[in-house]
């Protein structure tokens, strides 16, 4: 084996019921390099990361992984095992404890001790030394909650480095950062490289690869398409490699004639309610016609979900922009107001936001609609049941009765319950945020048919999707988001995966109109 290799992934395959998540993946990472990993949503990047940190332990996949010359065999007892082996991951979601200081967080679980007591002096001295080594301008005594998101990310990296990691994995580290913070991170990566740290860098923002990485591997559909030195790549070439694939007959094509525009959004700006220094929506324009499906494409972190939750009144407040419904400007400050205007949202996180899992199908479907069946002291159970039934039937929800808890249903049927609940509220605009995520192929097809049917009967449908094929297969037009902006709307006839990806990565910009 090449002495220069620190991480040698060879022939790794991993299957889930019905899906090949990874097929024969081989990636060689040289000591001291920054190795980029890119691919579409669902290409297999996170599955690979989960294997590397032991979430999917040794034995649940085939193939071998060599770390620094010996085979990596992780059990799934705890994340500690991977750390002890020398693999440290900085997750997208920050995993720091807000009410503890930087030092306490970095040494959490491995506090230096003085007999039984924690040796605070040593802890803070070592933290200071670590921060200084990587030129991080953060006080060891600062509380995490007082830091900016960027500084938190740096702290997270420092924490990973304090483990004497052989390989540092950065999983989309810039997704929550402002532009200035990204620059800072890039500088730090350069410092780290000079220190001899090996990095595996995952990102959706292609230009970042050209600022940091030495080598890039492109994943597509669970396979490594290519591994090339970064100078030999261009963004356009990467996009091609990421999407080059055949469309299959997975989408029922509806017969519909979209009507006139009835919903317009112009110049929408909004701030992240959790990090008000970050603007999540930086100018979004689109319009929606009656009886059409408008696809919204964009990489993760491009502001797709933030856009639709803002339209539903449940995210940040607008700092600029207008929303017109039937030519009238409307203001939406809560879900209730959105519903009153005929807007419904099937949220991204089905279990976390769409359903009350322990409650029955009936209770879930009628939750937003009880006003229709209820007077002050009485819910008309007969009316409630008969209406819920008609929806359950027309959406063919498969369940023994409407009285079973939704947690017992399959993902596809759960999603149908969420859609039923929102259809019952008689919306004019139905927003679906990644409606087929985690649903098997058969159920997906049914949901597509349902969407076509709804569009044919005059609903305006907005569909966010992480799968380009789905966007192309279902939409009449595609609005592409890039870094919080709408980067143009494409007619389906002119849209291709390459064009969408070019817009989603910002290498092609929509003409100002």
Partner 1 sequence: MLATLVDTFRRNLRSYILLMALLAIWIGFGIATPAFYSADHIQNVLTQMAIIGIMACGMVFVIVTGGIDLSVGFGAGFVSVVAAALLYFNTITKPLAALFPHMTPGTLEVVSAVVIVLLCLLLGALIGVFQGFIIAFLAVPPFITTLGGMFIFKSGILMVTKGKSLFISSNDTYKYIAQGLLPPMFGYVLVALVAVVLFTMVFRSRARKQKYGIELPHIALDLAKAGFFTLIVLGYVLVVNRAFDHEADASIRGVPFLVVILALIGLLMSYISTNTRFGRYAYAIGGNRDAARLSGINIRKYLFGIYVTMGALMGVSGIALAAYVGSGTTGAGGGYELDVIASCILGGTSTLGGEGTIFGAIIGALIMQSLGNGLQMMNVNSNVQYLIKGLVLILAVWADISMKKKKG
Nearest-angstrom CA–CA distance, 296 and 479: 5
- Which CA distances in Å does 63 have to 42, 208, 312, 438? 20, 30, 46, 26
Nearest-angstrom CA–CA distance, 85 and 244: 36
Provide the mask over 414-453, with x wherever binding to partner 1 is found by CB under 8 A and - wherever it is not.
-------x--------------------------------
Nearest-angstrom CA–CA distance, 270 and 345: 19
Q: Is 342 in the site for partner 1 (CB under 8 A)?
A: no
Q: Is 99 in the site for partner 1 (CB under 8 A)?
A: no
In sequence order, the 6+-apart residues with CB closer than 8 A to the CB of 128 are 140
Lookup result for tokens 């709408």: 486
Provide the mask over 248-267, with x wherever binding to partner 1 is found by CB under 8 A and - wherever it is not.
--------------------
Q: Is 356 in the site for partner 1 (CB under 8 A)?
A: yes
Q: Is 363 in the site for partner 1 (CB under 8 A)?
A: yes
Q: Is 411 in the site for partner 1 (CB under 8 A)?
A: no
Candidates 368, 453, 492, 507; binder of partner 1 (CB under 8 A) is: 368
Q: Is 379 in the site for partner 1 (CB under 8 A)?
A: yes
Residue 316 beta carbon to partner 1: minimum distance, rounded to whole angstroms: 15
Q: Is 357 in the site for partner 1 (CB under 8 A)?
A: yes
Number of residues that bind partner 1 (CB under 8 A): 36
Residue 187 beta carbon to partner 1: minimum distance, rounded to whole angstroms: 38
DSSP line for 146-158: GS-HHHHHHHHHH
Which secondary-structure segment (H or E) carries 323?
A: strand 318-325
Residue 370 — φ and ψ, nearest 5°? Answer: -60, -30
Q: Is 354 in the site for partner 1 (CB under 8 A)?
A: yes
Q: Is 113 in the site for partner 1 (CB under 8 A)?
A: no
Residue 397 beta carbon to partner 1: minimum distance, rounded to whole angstroms: 15
Candidates 249, 255, 382, 494; binder of partner 1 (CB under 8 A) is: 382
- Which CA distances in Å does 290 have to 175, 428, 434? 34, 8, 21
Q: Is 312 in the site for partner 1 (CB under 8 A)?
A: yes
Tokens in use for 103?
């030092």
CB 207 within 8 A of CB 235: yes
By C-beta, is 129 or 379 nearer to partner 1?
Answer: 379
The stretch near partner 1 (CB under 8 A) out of 229-237, 239-247, 321-329, 355-363 is 355-363
Candidates 71, 317, 326, 371; binder of partner 1 (CB under 8 A) is: 371
CB neighbour burial string for 382-421, b if at least 16 within 10 angstroms, e if fewer:
eebbebbbebbeebebebeebeebbeebeebbbbbbbbbb
**Residues of this chain that bind partner 1 (CB under 8 A):** 312, 314, 334-336, 338-339, 345, 347, 352-359, 363, 366-368, 370-371, 374, 376-379, 381-382, 385-386, 389, 401, 403, 421
């Amino acid at each position: 084996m090449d002495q220069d290799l620190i991480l040698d992934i060879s022939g790794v395959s991993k299957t889930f019921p019905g899906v090949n998540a990874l097929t024969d993946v081989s990636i060689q990472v040289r000591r001291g390099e920054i190795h980029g990993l890119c691919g579409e949503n669902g290409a297999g990047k996170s599955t690979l990361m989960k294997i590397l940190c032991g979430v999917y332990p040794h034995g649940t996949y085939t193939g071998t992984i060599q770390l620094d010359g010996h085979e990596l065999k992780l059990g799934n007892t705890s994340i500690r095992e991977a750390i002890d082996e020398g693999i440290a991951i900085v997750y997208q979601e920050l995993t720091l404890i807000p009410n503890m200081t930087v030092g306490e967080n970095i040494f959490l679980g491995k506090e230096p001790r003085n007999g039984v007591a924690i040796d605070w002096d040593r802890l803070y001295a070592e933290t200071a030394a670590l921060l200084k080594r990587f030129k991080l301008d953060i006080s060891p005594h600062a509380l995490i909650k007082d830091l900016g998101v960027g500084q938190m990310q740096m702290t997270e990296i420092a924490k990973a480095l304090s483990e004497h990691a052989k390989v540092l994995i950065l999983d989309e580290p810039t997704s929550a950062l402002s532009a200035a913070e990204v620059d800072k991170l890039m500088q730090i990566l350069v410092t780290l490289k000079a220190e001899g740290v090996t990095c595996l860098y995952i990102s959706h923002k292609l230009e970042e690869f050209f600022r940091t990485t030495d080598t890039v591997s492109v994943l597509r559909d669970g396979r490594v398409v290519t591994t090339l030195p970064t100078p030999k790549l261009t963004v356009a070439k990467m996009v091609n490699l990421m999407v080059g694939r055949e469309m299959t007959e997975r989408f029922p094509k509806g017969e519909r004639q979209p009507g006139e525009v009835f919903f317009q959004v112009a110049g929408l700006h909004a701030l992240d309610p959790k990090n008000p220094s970050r603007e999540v929506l930086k100018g979004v324009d689109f319009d929606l016609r009656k009886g059409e499906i408008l696809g919204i494409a964009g990489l993760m972190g491009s502001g797709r979900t933030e856009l639709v939750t803002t339209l539903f009144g449940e995210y940040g407040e607008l700092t600029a922009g207008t929303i017109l419904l039937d030519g009238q400007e409307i203001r939406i400050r809560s879900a209730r107001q959105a519903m009153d205007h005929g807007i419904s949202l099937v949220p991204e996180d089905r279990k976390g936001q769409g359903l009350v899992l322990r409650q029955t199908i009936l209770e879930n479907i009628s939750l937003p609609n009880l006003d229709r069946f209820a007077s002050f002291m009485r819910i008309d159970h007969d009316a409630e049941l008969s209406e819920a039934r008609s929806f359950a039937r027309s959406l063919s929800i498969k369940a023994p009765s409407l009285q079973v808890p939704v947690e017992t249903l399959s993902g596809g049927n759960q999603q149908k319950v969420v859609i039923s609940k929102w259809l019952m509220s008689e919306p004019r605009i139905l927003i679906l945020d990644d409606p087929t995520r985690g649903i098997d192929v058969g159920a997906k097809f049914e949901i597509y048919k349902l969407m076509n049917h709804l569009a044919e009967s005059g609903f305006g449908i907005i569909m966010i999707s992480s799968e380009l094929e789905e966007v192309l297969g279902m939409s009449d037009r595609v609005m592409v988001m890039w870094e919080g902006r709408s980067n143009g709307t494409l007619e389906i006839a002119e849209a291709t995966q390459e064009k969408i990806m070019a817009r989603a990565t910002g290498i092609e910009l929509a003409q100002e109109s």
